[in-house]
Amino acid sequence: MQANLREHIEKIIPLTDDEFAFVNSHFSSRKFKKHQFLIQEGDPVKYSYFVISGLLKLVYTDGNAKEHIVSFAMEDWWESDYYAFFTQSEATMSLQCLEDTEVLCCSFEDYQKLCNGLQKMERFFLEKATFGFLGSQRRIISWQTSNSKERYEQLLKQYPSLFQRVSKSLIASYLGVSRETLSRLSS
């Protein structure tokens, strides 16, 4: 499976050929190998990434050097350390490849140019941000209301393909349960 930027945007808002050419000129393509970092904690965050193919993990490392998976990003997803991206500050998270990955990169300057230059793109990003917020809110409710078994089943139902692509330790880290608990749940 390979994502396509134009199809992705046009799920929300139709673009003319000229408009898409304008949009496309604000992105550059890059390929990364499995294990490579797109963002490392402490670095400036230059880009928001749209995943064409592959799989990424966004990781927050706590004071005890324990890694927590904040999110996964696969084909058709956007990912970055967005707090650092939007405030143009240093990364507090890392973004790393779990597979060989191809992304389209959009710098903060180009993001602003897109919003200012084409109102349709501002509408597109408003829709993405709104549904990003709603997805996070749903996840908070899931933490509040569900035990680890239920959260595991919700994730399996929502993203069955993820379970073929990542290790159980990473799923456990995303769900906030121990590897042992997860083994019990998934056996």
- The residues that touch its own copies, with contacts defined as CB under 8 A, are 60, 62, 66, 68, 70, 82-83, 86, 115, 119, 122-123, 125-126, 129-134, 136-141, 143-145, 176
Q: How far is the CB of 34 from its own copies (least distance, A)?
A: 24
Which residue's CB is nearer to its own copies, number 53 or number 146? 146
- Please give the Cα distance from 35 to 30 (Å, whole number): 15
For 10-127, strand residue ranges (E) read 28-32, 37-39, 47-53, 55-61, 67-74, 78-79, 94-97, 101-107
Query: Residue 37: beta bridge partners?
Result: 96
**Residue 128 CB, nearest distance to its own copies (Å)?**
9
Closer residue to its own copies (CB): 40 or 53: 40
Nearer to its own copies, 4 or 89 (CB): 89
Nearest residue to 158 (alpha-carbon basis) of 68, 100, 82, 72: 72
Which CB sits closer to its own copies, 88 or 130? 130
**Residue 135 phi, psi (nearest 5):** -65, -40
* Cβ at position 92, least distance to its own copies in Å: 9
